[in-house]
Amino acid sequence: MADYAHSDHASRSREEKARRLAAYIWAREISGGELLAMTPAQRRKLARAAETNPPSTDETWRVVAGLLADKDAWAARHPAHPAARREHADEKILWVKPPVKPWE
């Protein structure tokens, strides 16, 4: 019996989904580390906001995190390129809360 999860079709589908998610997430200035630190419920909500069916495994999320790191590195090397601009960075706070500063 064939294992669909590890077939070529599943791999292509996973990569396509990961690219869609990475594009949405990168535009919001969310890093791979921040993504992987989110709860599964937060990631599902993020995927739905990206109009993508949430991945069923962490494997896809790890691929997304890798794509985010790759895009960050590319953008650092090409800062003047239009594709290096994050069009929705102001939405990051909707997904990643800044650390709370303790009282001094």
Q: List, for residues 54-71, the tens digit of each pLDDT value.
A: 998 898 999 999 999 999
Q: What is the pLDDT of residue 60?
A: 92
Least confident of 2-11, 56-65, 67-76: 2-11
| 82-91: long-range pairs with CB below 8 Å, 24+ | 86/26, 86/27, 86/28, 86/29, 87/27, 88/27, 88/28, 89/27, 89/28, 89/29, 91/28
Q: Is residue 25 part of a domain?
A: yes
Q: Is residue 62 part of a domain?
A: yes
Domain of residue 40: give its range.
Answer: 11-95
Q: Is residue 34 part of a domain?
A: yes
Q: Is residue 65 part of a domain?
A: yes
- pLDDT band for 6, please (50, 70, 90 cuts): low
Q: What is the pLDDT of residue 5?
A: 60
Q: Is residue 5 part of a domain?
A: no
Q: Is residue 88 part of a domain?
A: yes
Q: Is residue 38 part of a domain?
A: yes
Q: Is residue 103 part of a domain?
A: no
User: Contact 14/59 with Cβ under 8 angstroms?
Assistant: yes
Whole-model pTM: value is: 0.84
- Work out how many domains the chain is built from and give that number: 1
